[in-house]
Chain A
Amino acid sequence: MVFRTRRLAVASVAVAAATALVAGCATGSGGSTSGASGDTLTLWTHNAGNSAELDVVKKIIKDFNASQSKYKVELQAFPQSNYNDSVVAAASARKLPCLLDVDGPNVPNWAWGGYLSPMDVSGSEVPLSDQLPSTVGRYRDKVYAFGFTDVSLTFFARTSVLKKYGIRIPTMAKPWTKDEFDSALAELKKSGKFEYPLEMGTGSLGEWYPYAYSPQLQSFGGDLIDRDGYKSASGTLDGKDAVEWATWLRSLVTKGYLAKKSGVDPNKDFLAGKSAIHWDGSWNAAKNAAKLGDDLAIIPPVDFLHGPRIGGASWQWAMSSTCSNKAGAQAWLKFSRQTKYFVDYARATGTIPATDAAAEQVDGYQPGGEFSVFTRFAREYAVVRPVTPAYPYISTEFQKAVQDILAGADPKDALGQAAKDIDNNLKTNNHYAG
Chain B
Amino acid sequence: MSISWPLVIFYVIALLTLCCAVLMLSFRKVIYMALTIGGVFVGCAAVYFLLGADFVGVAQILIYAGAITILIMFAIMLTNHEAAEPPLSWNLKNVASAVGCVLLAVVLLLAVRSTNWPGGGATTDINGGNTNPIVIGLMLFKQYTIPFELVSVLLIVALVGAVILAQDRKEDE
* A, B bound: no
Chain A residues in the interface with B (C-beta under 8 A): none
